Amino acid sequence: MLYLLRIQCTFRFPWLLLILLFFTAEPVTAQRAYWLVPHQASEAGALSDSVKARGYQLRVRSSWLNALSVVLDKQQTEEILTLPFRFDFFPVLSMKGSAMQGSGRIDYSKALEQMQADAFTRRGVGGMGVKIGVTDAGFLYLDDSVKAGDLQHLWKGRQLAGARDFVKNLDTISYRETFYTGRKEPFKERKFWLLNLIRDMRLIYHYHGTEVLRMIAGHDPLPGYRRGLAVEASYYLARTEDGTREFKEEEDYYIAALEWMEKAGVRVVNTSLGYGRGRKLKSSNYKPSDMNGSSMIAKAVEIACTEKNMLVVVAAGNDGAKKNWRLISTPADAASALTVGAVLGHMEKAGYSGIGPGFTPYLKPDVAAYSAQGTSLSAPAVCGFAACLLEMNPALTASELKQIIIRSSHLYPYGNNYIGYGVPLASRAIALMNDPERNFNNAQEVRVNGTSYEPENSLNDCPYVVLFHKSNATHVMRQEVMYRDKKGGEYRITRPAGVQRTTLQAGFAVYELIWE
């Protein structure tokens, strides 16, 4: 009632609203106060000297908090991020009496939250010193401080080390051109929503690489929101997709891009693209039975991983719900690639996520990450995860790096062809870096006589469990999310026909039910 009354008064007496705004609004200023918290306590003095040398207003240097309070204008907030120090940077929200509000907490994307990204950021790890390659269709607006604001630190830190357009055979990439017309900024904002929708649909391929890069390196320090983990890595961008149609030559461009990146010293490559069908010339389409690592593009990825010490992270594809395909696409079928599927909020497979074939001697996908918009955004989240581990130990081989990521995943050792070994967990990966023989004791086998299983009482505290019903050790027949009823009743797992094993996930506890 009070809220409705306030609205009525506003419209009836607009002058009253103006008076209230005049007396209650905070004065508008071009300056704001920020806290700078160096990752290394020993750098606080040098950071303070740098702030003073640049003429910034230093309000307080706190030895208790190991932090500096500075007042900066808009230009200075951009400049200060170029200082050669690693520090957390967040606004002072309010200072009233002795109470200081504003903790500098970082909000993570859902994918990073599931992967326990804070375990890396607490250690100041962001992929520094690691070279990452990104192959895609286009990087539209990457240089735009508004449309790609959370990637501008890559420009300021000179982290965009190389770019090449293999489709046009150019040693640069246009961040403003739409490849349909060759014109710059051809699609303007229209009044009619349908015209804007058509424009956005035509731009989506050209913007795809920018969105992928966000999931690897996206970070906006002022609100403290992070989409990607590898915010300090350096990047090599390759346009290998035409974006307007599917044609065979794109695979050649991709292979050339891998070789170019290898010469530049790239250690991790993100590949959010894949090939199966959809080409106008149907004879150039693949068949589902071809998804066994036999394509030229898959062989090139295999060489990159096994001979060139590059970890190639590949999206599993989005055909998981299509009955006449369902499988991953190449080069996700390369045995040594780190193939990434997509999960949703309960870490169950997203319906669209590509399924691993049952006819290969190796399991695909390898792991998974959250994405509600396609595996194109799952793979880069894991790519940033890999870069953080490489920063911690640059001597890791591509094979060792892949195994750490797999063994850190939440379902390990009970992988399946829906989501592989599950979502990588940073806390486990870090523990494995320190102790490669570490066993987390979160998974166990349970042999079940009969056609039903009632879990132990401790599992009944979980609000839901995820079930992967399998015909053998890895092949999923169907998945199921089971919720505890409102009365707090116990779970009862029933064996479906033809199922030999069921992987039961309850939180981070995993039970492999072997039906006798």
Q: What is the DSSP code string of 442-484?
A: -EEEEEE-SSEE---GGGGGSSEEEEEEESSSS-EEEEEEEEP
* Count, residues in the chain: 516
Helix ranges (DSSP H) in 290-414:
296-306, 378-392, 398-407
Mean pLDDT of the 474-496 span: 86
User: What's the confidence (pLDDT) of residue 199?
Assistant: 56
**From CA 513, how far away is CA 415, in angstroms rounded?**
13
Q: Taking Cα atoms as reference points, which of 280, 275, 315 lies closest to residue 291?
A: 275
Mean pLDDT of the 202-219 span: 86
Mean pLDDT of the 296-316 span: 98
> CB within 8 A of 42, min separation 6: which ones?
none
Residue whose token pair is 């690592």? 293
Report whether pLDDT(238) > 80.
Answer: yes
Report whether pLDDT(77) > 70.
Answer: yes
More confident residue, 180 or 101: 180
Mean pLDDT of the 232-244 span: 90
DSSP secondary structure of 185-212: S-----SSHHHHHHHHHHHHHHHHHHHH
Q: Which DSSP category does 288 fall into?
A: G
**From CA 358, how far away is CA 336, in angstroms rounded?**
17
Where residue 192 falls among pLDDT bands split at 50, 70, 90? low
User: What's the confidence (pLDDT) of residue 83?
Assistant: 77
**From CA 382, how far away is CA 367, in angstroms rounded?**
9
User: What's the confidence (pLDDT) of residue 290?
Assistant: 95
Please give the single-letter amino acid code of residue 177: E
Most confident of the following: 177-186, 283-292, 375-384: 375-384
Mean pLDDT of the 151-176 span: 91
Please give the single-letter amino acid code of residue 320: G
Across all residues in the chain, what is the average pLDDT? 84
Mean pLDDT of the 47-66 span: 84
Contact 442, 510 (CB under 8 A): yes
Report whether pLDDT(23) > 50.
Answer: no
| Domain 111-434 homologous superfamily, CATH | Peptidase S8/S53 domain (3.40.50.200)
CA 402 to chain centre: 17
Q: How buried is residue 252: exposed, middle or buried, by Cβ count under 10 Å (0-12/13-18/19+)?
A: middle
Q: Which DSSP category does 69 fall into?
A: E
Report the chain's C-alpha Rg in angstroms.
Answer: 26
Domain 29-94 class, CATH top level? alpha beta
**From CA 421, how far away is CA 363, in angstroms rounded?**
9
- Please, how many CA atoms are within 13 Å of residue 433, restricted to the half-sphere of its CB? 20
Mean pLDDT of the 291-318 span: 97
**From CA 378, how far away is CA 342, in angstroms rounded?**
6
User: What's the confidence (pLDDT) of residue 303?
Assistant: 97
Give the torsion sign (CA, 269, 273, 275, 281).
negative
Mean pLDDT of the 496-512 span: 95
Dihedral in degrees, nearest 10, Cα atoms 141, 227, 219, 108: 150
Mean pLDDT of the 57-84 span: 79
Please give the single-letter amino acid code of residue 411: L
Cβ-based neighbour number of residue 475 at 10 Å: 18
Where residue 224 falls among pLDDT bands split at 50, 70, 90? confident
Please give the single-letter amino acid code of residue 179: F
Q: Taking Cα atoms as reference points, which of 311, 298, 213, 297 lies closest to residue 262?
A: 311
User: What's the confidence (pLDDT) of residue 1?
Assistant: 32
Contact 395, 433 (CB under 8 A): no
Among 28-42, 193-207, 247-261, 275-289, the minimum mean pLDDT is found in: 193-207
Q: Taking Cα atoms as reference points, which of 91, 107, 92, 87 lies closest to residue 225?
A: 107
Where residue 63 falls among pLDDT bands split at 50, 70, 90? confident
Give the torsion sign (CA, 294, 300, 306, 307).
positive
> CB within 8 A of 227, min separation 6: which ones?
109, 112, 150, 214, 215, 218, 219
User: What's the confidence (pLDDT) of residue 101?
Assistant: 27
User: What's the confidence (pLDDT) of residue 27?
Assistant: 41
Report whether pLDDT(330) > 80.
Answer: yes
Contact 319, 278 (CB under 8 A): no
More confident residue, 444 or 207: 444
Q: How buried is residue 8: exposed, middle or buried, by Cβ count under 10 Å (0-12/13-18/19+)?
A: exposed
CA 253 to chain centre: 25
**From CA 58, how far away is CA 63, in angstroms rounded?**
14
